[in-house]
Amino acid sequence: MKKRFWIVLLSGALLQSCDDKPITDVFYPVAGKAWAYTDIKTVEVNITDTSSLCDVYLNLRHAGNYEWQNLYLRVKVVSPSGDSSLSRVSFQLTAADGKWLGSGLGDIVEYQVPFKEGIQFKELGTYRFELEQHMRVNPLLGIHDVGLRVEKAK
C-alpha cells in the first residue's frame, strides 16, 4: 500500500512539473555588451493553445554598473496572420532607494520584468516579438543579454 502511495505521489509531482514548463524562455547576447538601435532582438513563440491565458516577461541581464534606472523598449508583436502591434514601454530596474530590483551574482544583474500579464493569444501559430532598445543613447552600454519568457498564467 505504501509503495502505491509513493508511486502515485511521485507521478503527480512529475506531471505537475511538466505543466510548469514555459512556452519559451530565451536570452540573446548583445554584441560587445552595447545594445545598438539597429540590433533588434527577435523572439519567435509557437502558440499551440488559444484557450489559456499567458504572461509575457522581458528577460534582461545587465552590468552592475549600468547607469540608468530603467530601460525603454519598443516591442513589436506580429501575429501568425501578419497583424502587428507596437508598444513603447519603460521597465523600472531600480527601487526608490536606487538598489537593483533584479537578482545577480557579482557584476551581472538579471531580471524577468512583466510585459503583458493575463493575455490570450487569438491565433494558433508563430508569433514574432521584436525587441528594440529605445533609450536616448546609442549604443546602450552595459546590456549583456535580452530575451523573452512566455508562460501560461498561474
pLDDT tens, position by position, 4-37: 534 443 444 444 444 578 999 999 999 999 999 9
DSSP helix, strand, coil percent of the chain (3-state; round to 5): 15, 55, 35
pLDDT for position 19? 56
pLDDT of residue 79: 97
Q: For 94, phi and psi rounded to 5 degrees?
A: -125, 155
| Angle at the Cα of 86 from the Cα atoms of 82 and 127, rounded to 5 degrees | 40
Characterize the bridge pairing of strands 140-141 and 54-63: unpaired
Distance of CA 118 to the CA centre of its chain: 14
pLDDT in tens, 55-81: 999 999 999 999 999 999 999 999 999
Residue-range domain boundaries for the chain: 23-152
Q: What is the CATH number of domain 23-152?
A: 2.60.120
- Do the beta carbons of residue 114 and residue 90 sit within 8 Å? no
Q: At 31, phi and psi to the nearest 5? A: -60, 130
pLDDT value of position 2: 52
Distance of CA 102 to the CA centre of its chain: 13
**Band of the pLDDT at 105, cuts 50, 70, 90?**
confident
